[in-house]
């Protein structure tokens, strides 16, 4: 695929609402995040990118193989289950983030999305989520 000379629309940040599971307070049960937002209308479709950043106090936490701690995610776009592709795999360099790519088909109206992300990190680590939409 050739590199485009220009884009018909600019990429943009997406506001997200994050709910952390109540199980986080119970050490024997894993934490999970529910991330919700709106994919904007886009006549050519695009890619939604959702990222989770990990910190401990004021310092970034860079575990080996962050994909091992955040490899799976389940997502729905407009109520329909959709595939999430992790950016970092299971055996990678240390990183303080993990992100997923979600393909979004062209649409005349904005659509809600929801992701559920389980993690093996203890509650002593802070998790911050962000999202961007990259039009085709």
CATH topology of domain 28-135: Jelly Rolls (2.60.120)
What is 59-72 written as a DSSP string?
A: EEP--S-HHHHS--
Percent of the chain with pLDDT over 70: 86
Q: How much is the pTM? A: 0.85
- Which residues sit opposite 114 in a β-bridge? 36, 76
pLDDT exceeds 60 at position 136? yes
Q: pLDDT tens, 68-88?
A: 666 678 999 999 999 999 888
């Amino acid at each position: 695929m050739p590199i485009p000379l220009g884009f018909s629309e600019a990429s943009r940040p997406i506001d997200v609402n994050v709910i952390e599971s109540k199980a986080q307070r119970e050490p024997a049960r894993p934490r999970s995040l529910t991330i919700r937002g709106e994919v904007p209308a886009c006549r050519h479709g695009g890619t939604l990118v959702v990222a989770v950043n990990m910190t401990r106090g004021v310092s970034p936490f860079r575990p080996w193989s962050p994909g091992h701690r955040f490899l799976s995610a389940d997502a729905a776009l407009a109520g329909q289950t959709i595939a999430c592709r992790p950016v970092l795999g299971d055996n990678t360099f240390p990183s303080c983030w993990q992100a997923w790519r979600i393909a979004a088909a062209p649409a005349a109206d904005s659509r809600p999305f929801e992701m559920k992300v389980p993690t093996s990190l203890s509650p002593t680590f802070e998790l911050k989520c962000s999202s961007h939409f990259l039009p085709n």
